[in-house]
Structure 1
């Protein structure tokens, strides 16, 4: 009887051990399956228009910092705004720096993105051959500018009106097709006063050394808003799917982007070298001369929201369609 009891006890212990081993094997399989999902290779596409938006990411473009061995980052500088918009609408791009009004337009029309940060705070300057004293001195002048009905035009008209100058009757606005055409006309002496954006302005000043900056439109905007920040001309948007599925990556990316901008502002010469090496169209000299006037700084959506709202309201009052017909709702911003 004792032998039978002993055998039963041994069998019980063996079954317990086997059950424990089986449980460990099953759990191991589940863990392996989970890990297989976690280490799935992911390709993320990041795009920025040429100019200041690309410059804001130039360190990331060149150094391609790691976000994990299974995450592949693809950076691209896009010259055509229409191409950028179509690729965002199609969902091809995961992260992009775009004009803030374009972000509002696309998201208002159903693009599945959120605005995560603003990074370019205005790049427009009134320049001339002779120094003038303030807004009143523009009265009666012909001013060459660009983008009739678009954001540069609206910002300039808003500032003219706010300073007592009627843009339709007190000045003559002559519109050119794009910034390079505007620059060529000014350099050739066809215009004596022009509104020219960076980085084109730096190229103008290198070729026409007597160019004088008459008005910094970013400072003028700030004066109208109690000395607060300028207008958030370009912002970073991120695809909703990426925000929902990879929140840790998004948080890390935003920190890296902020670090990249901080590095940029402290390393103009190196940034210029990177720009030439990557053939962005911005020479080292242009980057070094124009960086300070490009007003590139990082502000997360929560911090920048008040200034973004002010900017979009001004654009909406002048031309609702330029932001997609309405002020964006709460879903426009990335909440952190």
Structure 2
């Protein structure tokens, strides 16, 4: 199996691809399997799956990986840290954040007024996305809505069990995991849909973006044909994953990304996509602008230049 657990060793004469456990890796599993089965001729793809974004930065900086599926804001941070050393190829995952509750009280964002939301991800993109959606709906975080920050998703679910009139902010596939243990949990709001409503009302076209796929700029300049080959195969892989849920779920389980049964239920809610070119730039740049307004450090201090977006003209 092509799966590796570390990101520190470069496989020579290969295209080294790194992905994080979770939705950002799910869309790659068909391509991983093809490489594993020896079905790809022309390029030698070597895939590594890692558990933490902290493993991505050194792999990019040291050149031990060429292409990586990473959180959207991390791509911007890496661009700044490496002085333009990475470019974003595709959006691979739209929003995976959901508000869940016990009951039927929350039908719209306005229904959150006076409630407490339990969430993890303070000082990171979940906080900024939630704040943006609340504020755009006329609610002030900390005044109209109380947010209690926890260190783990499991703590949010536990708090929800103790306070049934509250809500919890959770990502997929953890939502599915939590529902498998407590069938009274209901998805009240999809933050991706709420983001899209705001954009429609404001005449914008950005999206809530979870993950993107980046390439080392030097690698892209030296091997444009390899990058194009990868993008074509990756697009096919994403299509396969979205169209063949059961088969894809088995592969996701085999590669230890998410357990098969959880993947089977969660895949339709994980918003796995393949978006490149001008549409990618439009959706991603608007998302990064929102993060930059919430906290410039979330995107590396300043917004990335146009060169950040690969082939976006």
Same fold (TM > 0.5): yes
Question: Which has the higher Rg, Structure 1 or Structure 2?
Answer: 1
Work out whether residues 183 and 201 of structure 1, in 8 Å CA contact, stay in contact via their aligned partners in 2. no
Residue 78 of structure 1: how far off its partner (Å):
1.0
Aligned residue in 1 for 2:211: 234
Q: CA RMSD in A?
A: 1.8
Count of residue correspondences: 293
- The 1:276–1:133 alpha-carbon spacing in structure 2 relative to 1, beyond 3 Å, is closer
The runs of 5 or more residues in structure 1 that have no matched partner are 1-40
Which of 255, 266, 276 is equivalent to 2:253?
Answer: 276
Q: Select between 132-141 and 312-321 the one with higher mean Cα deviation.
A: 132-141
For residues 72 and 214 of structure 2, the distance between their equivalents in structure 1, rounded to whole angstroms, comes to: 9
Q: What is the rounded CA distance, in whole Å, between the counterparts of 1:278 and 1:189 in structure 2?
A: 36
Partner of 1:142: 116
How far apart, CA to CA, are the structure 1 residues paired with 2:108 and 2:163?
22
Residue 249 (str. 1) matches residue 226 (str. 2): yes
CA drift at 1:149:
1.8
- Structure 1 residue 185 displacement after superposition: 4.3
2:200 is paired with a residue whose SS is: coil
CA contact (8 A) 2:206 2:286 kept: no
Residue matched to 1:31: none
Are the equivalent residues in 2 in contact too, given 1:95–1:238 (CA < 8 A)?
yes
1:266 paired residue number: 243
TM-score, normalised with respect to structure 1: 0.82
1:286 to 243, 262, 266: 262
**Is 1:67–1:249's contact at 8 Å kept on the other side of the alignment?**
no
Alignment of 1:114 onto 2:87: yes
Aligned to 1:315: 291
Q: Is the 8 A contact 1:312 1:327 kept in 2?
A: yes
CA distance in 2, matches of 1:67, 1:206: 37
Aligned to 1:332: 308
**Is residue 124–residue 216 contact of structure 1 (8 Å, CA) maintained in 2?**
yes
Higher mean alpha-carbon deviation, 109-118 vs 57-66, is at: 57-66
How far apart are the structure 1 equivalents of 2:155 and 2:48? 25
Structure-to-structure mapping, 1:20-39, within 5 angstroms: none
In the alignment, the residues of structure 2 paired with residue 168 and residue 82 of structure 1 have an alpha-carbon distance, to the nearest angstrom, of 30
- Pair 1:251–1:67, CA change in 2 (3 A): farther
Q: Greater helix percent: which structure?
A: 1
User: Corresponding residue for 2:96?
Assistant: 123
- 1:268-299 CA deviation, whole Å, 9 max, x = no partner? 1111111222222x122211111111001111
Q: In structure 2, which of residues 191, 197, 203 is the aligned counterpart of residue 223 of structure 1? A: 197
TM-score, normalisation: structure 2 = 0.88
CA distance in 2, matches of 1:190, 1:54: 34
Q: Which residue number corresponds to residue 77 of structure 2?
A: 105
Alignment partners' CA distance in 1, 2:248 and 2:73: 27
In the alignment, structure 1 residue 93 sits paired with structure 2 residue 65: yes
Distance 1:76 1:190 in 2: 41
Deviation at 1:180, TM superposition (A): 4.1
Any unmatched runs of 5+ in structure 2?
Answer: 1-11
Paired residues of 1:183 and 1:200 also in contact (CA < 8 A): no
Distance, in Å, in 2 between the alignment partners of 1:45 and 1:183 is 37
